[in-house]
Amino acid sequence: MAIPLLEAIDLEGKDLSTDALLTQHAFARYLVEKRKAHYSYRFGAARPVADGDPP
């Protein structure tokens, strides 16, 4: 995870955004609850749905 890299940076009150790679509950909790940062993320389909894939 990226948490060790962020420890040296003052994040309180900062706006952070990530892509789908860092869209994880534990990472969001770390940023918002522990570091008091504002966190937004973007997510989407990991891959196109192919014929025969389960819904």
Per the prediction, the chain carries an average pLDDT of 79
pLDDT at position 48 is: 61
Residue 20 domain-assigned (yes or no): yes
pLDDT at position 52 is: 58
Residue 48 domain-assigned (yes or no): no
pLDDT at position 49 is: 59
Residue 46 domain-assigned (yes or no): no
Burial class, 31, CB count within 10 angstroms (exposed 0-12 / middle 13-18 / buried 19+): buried
Residue 23 domain-assigned (yes or no): yes
For residue 32 the two structure tokens come to 């918002």
**Structural domain total, the chain:** 1
CB 3 within 8 A of CB 27: yes
pTM over 0.95: no
CB 35 within 8 A of CB 10: no
Position with higher pLDDT, 39 vs 46: 39
Residue 47 domain-assigned (yes or no): no
Range of the domain at 32: 3-41
> What percent of the chain shows pLDDT beyond 90?
31
